[in-house]
Structure 1
Amino acid sequence: MGSGCCGGNRTVVQPKTNPDVYRTKSPPITRKPETKLTRNKSPPIMRDNSTMERFLKPIITTTNPLKLIDGYLHEPVVSLEEALQPFDGQIDQLSYHIKEAKAKCHYPSEHNLTHDESAAIYIYTMKWDNKCVYDRLQEAWKSEDRSKVKPWFKYLRLFKSAFDKLPDAKKEVWQGTLFDERLIEKLSSKSSTIYSSMGSCLPSSNEVKDYLEKHDSTKIILIGYESVHGKSIVGNTANPWNEHILFPGAKLGVTSYKVIDANDSLTIHFRGLPNTPEPAVRNITPRIEKHFICANHHHNRSFIMQYLIALETNILYFPMNAITKQI
């Protein structure tokens, strides 16, 4: 009996358990919405059409710009940051663009420009939204107000230090503009001496002419400058143009002029004169490249008589309002 009791097959029954009784439930995880990282975009640099505008602003003035900056050479050559410090808060995002100029300028330089000198040239050629360094400086020149130009003395001193190290312009350089009666009045004046202000030029008149004609400018003036101590800044700029710079203060004389199309567009050639004490009359005789005739015979005769008088007296003067047609 005992063996029958112990020798039978046994079935082990596992106790039933509820696993949820022993499981610790974690609180639900609440995920925060993903935050997308946004990169700070560089302020946009304007395209070529905007940078081309600097070659369409004639730098001719009857006020000697050297009088506006008299004493600037006594300023020390400082860093670009210090040179432009007076305009902190006045020029949009200036500190950013100073850093960009220092990062992108041509340095080391084969012309031995320092880092700050190279950056001073580079930032002058940069164009961005609102008013950039070039725009603000041009406003100061145009004001002909020494008090508005004086804050630029340190920058101009740094710029001039770089300018003097750059290669000279090898040939005539060019600007252009829409036909401007006020400009013609300046050139027609017997008494006013003409000077160059600070500005940018191109070595090809065709580049300027083509741009103006493509933008519906039917009557234009092309202006050439020769022997005005211009400098090439090619390779030192923020734009692709073959840019040349004229520093202010060159005394100018007209050497020749001509009508170039049926719309009475003009080409005027200037040559730099020695910076001697101002004479009573200017002493470069303009050279006639073409013969002109006016629809009004009386006006044409008046023009010829005035031109002959100019030849005899060596007065650099030409009555532009008498020129209307080309033979």
Structure 2
Amino acid sequence: MATASSINHRLLTSLKDEPKQMLQPISGYEEEPLLSIEEACKPLEKILDQELKQNMVIAKMNSEEPADQLTPDESASIHLYTMEWKKRENSLYAVLNRTLRMADRSKLKPWFRYLKLFLTAFFKLPSSQHTIIWRGVTEDLGGVYTKGRKVAWWALSSCTAAISVLESELYLGTSGERTIFSIQTTSGKCIKAHSYFQQEDEILLAPGRYFEVIDKLSPGNGLNIIHIREIPPPFPMLADPFDLSQLKNTLPQPVPKPIKINPTPSVVPKPPTLSVVSKPPTPSVVPKPPTPITAKTGEFIVL
């Protein structure tokens, strides 16, 4: 049974299991029909334990009025992903991510229906406004992620918008071996509105992301800070769940900020100067000048 916790263990998922070799792309799932959460998870009943059924019901009940224009089933697929089983290693997200890292892509076939629903929901979410996000592990990866190296992350990656979250004692703390990734990307999606852990501003990266190591810093006390930037992969590492060009017309477009006009404190416009008076004074009120005076064009002589 999934239990509420103050810790989001997905933020600390190890990176040691990411394959060092380049794998074949994640594809084939996109051909599946878009099904309900119940139908999408049927092939997983033989892979996951009995907690799947009850957690699926909980996810569906918690997703009756979803945000971001998702359907209840789409939102429930994200909700189910964020839930933890009694044995954390048996959680749906843990088993799925282990499978995404396997070189044998046939192992992914039972997940195709769920991936179709989940990734359809994921790509329908608006992109995060944060272009620098953070991920941490309790491992020393400074020697693995060398400057200029290009790396692939095949599993889904849970990140946060605030480095202070990772520095708290609930996560990495301030001592011991630990690596914090500063990730420059525009593809992250905030899943807070659909998560079982709604106190966390979790930003999720899709599987099959490709990065370049830009720089790294080892300030001491066991800490490594590695700056990576997402770059185009050498080939499509993840098939799109649907034609993503449709998103331009289906996602809500940003509303331009209204132009704010600040009037002068008096609100009343300044009176025109004499040089811009359009109505000349009538002859009856203009006194005859005592002596001839030649004035320049546009000037008025006040006696």
Where does residue 175 of structure 1 map in the other structure?
A: 135
Q: Give 1 or 2 for the bigger CA radius of gyration.
A: 1
Where does residue 45 of structure 1 map in the other structure?
A: 3
Specify whether residues 213 and 56 from structure 1 end up closer, same or farther in structure 2 by C-alpha distance, changes over 3 A only.
closer
Q: Does residue 158 of structure 2 align to residue 200 of structure 1? A: yes
Distance (Å, rounded) in 2 between the aligned partners of 1:81 and 1:213: 36
* Aligned-residue offset at 1:48: 2.1
Pick one of 242, 253, 273 that aligns with 2:212: 253
Distance (Å, rounded) in 2 between the aligned partners of 1:264 and 1:163: 35
Distance (Å, rounded) in 2 between the aligned partners of 1:277 and 1:124: 27
Determine if contact 2:147/2:213 at 8 Å carries over to the other structure.
no
* Aligned-residue offset at 1:58: 4.8
Pick one of 98, 101, 105 that aligns with 2:59: 101
Distance (Å, rounded) in 1 between the aligned partners of 2:163 and 2:77: 27
Determine if contact 2:175/2:223 at 8 Å carries over to the other structure.
no
Where does residue 244 of structure 1 map in the other structure?
A: 203
What runs of 5+ residues in structure 2 fail to find an aligned partner?
237-303
User: When the two structures are superposed, what TM-score results if normalisation uses the length of structure 1?
Assistant: 0.63
What runs of 5+ residues in structure 1 fail to find an aligned partner?
1-42, 279-327
Where does residue 124 of structure 2 map in the other structure?
A: 165
Pick one of 67, 77, 91 that aligns with 2:49: 91
Determine if contact 2:67/2:194 at 8 Å carries over to the other structure.
no
Q: Does residue 86 of structure 2 align to residue 126 of structure 1? A: no
Identical amino acids, percent of aligned pairs: 29
Match for 2:190: what amino acid? Answer: S
Determine if contact 1:64/1:249 at 8 Å carries over to the other structure.
no
Determine if contact 2:35/2:113 at 8 Å carries over to the other structure.
yes
* Aligned-residue offset at 1:185: 4.9
Q: Secondary structure at the match of 1:147?
A: helix
Where does residue 12 of structure 2 map in the other structure?
A: 56
Distance (Å, rounded) in 1 between the aligned partners of 2:161 and 2:19: 21
Instruction: Out of 160-169 and 55-64, give the one that drifted further.
Output: 55-64
Specify whether residues 74 and 277 from structure 1 end up closer, same or farther in structure 2 by C-alpha distance, changes over 3 A only.
closer
Determine if contact 1:140/1:148 at 8 Å carries over to the other structure.
yes
User: When the two structures are superposed, what TM-score results if normalisation uses the length of structure 2?
Assistant: 0.68
1:105-157 deviation digits (Å, cap 9, x = unpaired): 2x433421111100001000111212121121122123333122221111111
Pick one of 83, 102, 123 that aligns with 1:143: 102
* Aligned-residue offset at 1:251: 1.4
Pick one of 214, 218, 223 that aligns with 1:265: 223
> Where is the helix percentage greater, Structure 1 or Structure 2?
1
Specify whether residues 275 and 86 from structure 1 end up closer, same or farther in structure 2 by C-alpha distance, changes over 3 A only.
same
CA RMSD of aligned residues (A): 2.5
Distance (Å, rounded) in 2 between the aligned partners of 1:204 and 1:243: 10
Match for 2:32: what amino acid? Answer: E
Q: Secondary structure at the match of 1:127?
A: coil
1:228-283 deviation digits (Å, cap 9, x = unpaired): 511111211101211111001221011222123x32411111111123459xxxxx
Distance (Å, rounded) in 1 between the aligned partners of 2:59 and 2:183: 29
1:24-66 deviation digits (Å, cap 9, x = unpaired): xxxxxxxxxxxxxxxxxxx3514123xx22111255554456x
> Greater RCO between the two (CA within 8 Å, min separation 6)?
2
Specify whether residues 64 and 249 from structure 1 end up closer, same or farther in structure 2 by C-alpha distance, changes over 3 A only.
farther
1:5-42 deviation digits (Å, cap 9, x = unpaired): xxxxxxxxxxxxxxxxxxxxxxxxxxxxxxxxxxxxxx
Where does residue 111 of structure 1 map in the other structure?
A: 68
Distance (Å, rounded) in 2 between the aligned partners of 1:249 and 1:228: 15
Q: Secondary structure at the match of 1:256?
A: strand
Where does residue 39 of structure 1 map in the other structure?
A: none
Distance (Å, rounded) in 2 between the aligned partners of 1:71 and 1:263: 45
Q: Secondary structure at the match of 1:116?
A: helix
Match for 1:255: what amino acid? Answer: I
Distance (Å, rounded) in 1 between the aligned partners of 2:72 and 2:135: 29
